[in-house]
A and B are shown apart, each in its own frame.
Chain A
Amino acid sequence: MKLKFSSRLYAKRAVLDAMRRYDRFARFKITETPRAFHVEISRVREGLEDKLPGEFSNYVLVSTREAA
């Protein structure tokens, strides 16, 4: 699955930090465009498929707010 984070609303550092934090639950790959960060999530640990993208997004949001 893919998640898109607007670069105006989310901090890149927050996305990278979240990727590090959730590294043991899934595999993450980030690509960057001028307006957004695209995070591709694969090999999600069994049983976390529904929760992980949402929790990941929440983590990025909170980190962005703290970084601001």
Chain B
Amino acid sequence: MTGIQCDVRTTVYPLESIYAACYAFIDRAYIRLDERPKQTIRVTLDVKEPLGKDALRKLEGDFRNELLHHALRLKVSVSNQKIREYIVTRALLSAQAAPPPEAGTPPDELPAPEVRQPGPDGEPVAAPMALPAPEPAGEPDGKEHLHRGQRDEAHLAPAQPPAQPAPADDALTREIQKLLAEIDKGGEQEDPLGIVAPWEESPKSAKADEGSVSKAKSSSRKSKSASPQKGGRK
């Protein structure tokens, strides 16, 4: 059985990426890991099928590439962890806050139940109110999608307030706020040299804002004169 040996430093390639790279070659080789001094791991790949010298060299190159690939993948995964968690949490929260579908709502095109009342001869006849007058196509009030029964209800029942979203889980909300705070905090540290000027301080925005600022000042003066002072009543 022939194979190759690679010494991999764990300071360069994390152990997790070494495992992942080995896993990719598990169908081609028998793999052994041995601990070596100076934070080094010796990876031994004994090929299952006999290979030539060039093929073995290619195998070693492929393995090293795989190591690099997984190390980078791990690094990206760690750096994106916060935002990934935030997105998933936000998606879960959105799904939780959506109003649940009504349990009694019939599926599409279920026939409306006919209400029959006893006639003068005892035979039940269809109630006249059960058949509304035909309406022109393309209703202006946007109720085309409603079935007959639902349309009647819409005409008769008073307008109901929209369904309130279900109260979100407190722990989840707190977690989102915490993540947002961390992201905000991380964003502030992206300018260690302090060379980024805020938009308000740039000369272009200052010129553009001159007109709006004067308008705002005049409006604030008006509002101050119109509203009584807070401390005046005390």
Q: Write the residues of chain A forming the contact surface with B, with a CB cutoff of 8 angstroms.
A: 4, 6, 8-10, 35, 50, 53-55, 57-58, 61-62, 64-65, 68
14 residue pairs of the A-B complex, CB under 8 angstroms, read A4-B34, A6-B34, A8-B35, A9-B15, A9-B33, A9-B34, A10-B33, A54-B46, A54-B48, A57-B31, A57-B32, A61-B22, A61-B31, A62-B26
Q: Write the residues of chain B forming the contact surface with A, with a CB cutoff of 8 angstroms.
A: 1, 15-16, 19-20, 22-23, 26, 30-35, 41, 46, 48
User: Does the CB pair B19–A6 fall under 8 Å?
Assistant: no
Q: State the 9 A-B residue pairs at the shortest beta-carbon distance, nearest first.
A: A54-B30, A65-B19, A6-B35, A9-B33, A58-B26, A57-B32, A8-B35, A61-B31, A58-B30
B114 → A minimal CB distance (Å): 62
Complexed CA–CA distance, A8 and B160 (Å): 65
Q: Which A residues lie within 8 Å of B46 (CB)? A: 54
Specify the chain B residue showing the minimal Cβ separation from A3: B32
Q: Which B residues lie within 8 Å of A53 (CB)? A: 30
User: Does the CB pair B26–A61 fall under 8 Å?
Assistant: yes
Q: Which A residues lie within 8 Å of B48 (CB)? A: 54
Contact of A61 with B35 at beta-carbon distance under 8 Å, contacts A9-B41, A54-B30, A55-B30 already known: no
Q: Which B residues lie within 8 Å of A65 (CB)? A: 19-20, 22-23
Complexed CA–CA distance, A64 and B30 (Å): 15
Complexed CA–CA distance, A61 and B16 (Å): 12
B199 → A minimal CB distance (Å): 47
Q: Which A residues lie within 8 Å of B16 (CB)? A: 68
Specify the chain A residue showing the minimal Cβ separation from B16: A68
Complexed CA–CA distance, A35 and B48 (Å): 29
A46 → B minimal CB distance (Å): 19
Excluding A9-B15, A62-B26, 16 further A-B contacts by CB distance (< 8 Å) are A4-B34, A6-B33, A6-B34, A6-B35, A9-B33, A9-B35, A10-B33, A54-B1, A55-B30, A57-B30, A58-B30, A58-B31, A61-B19, A62-B23, A65-B19, A65-B22
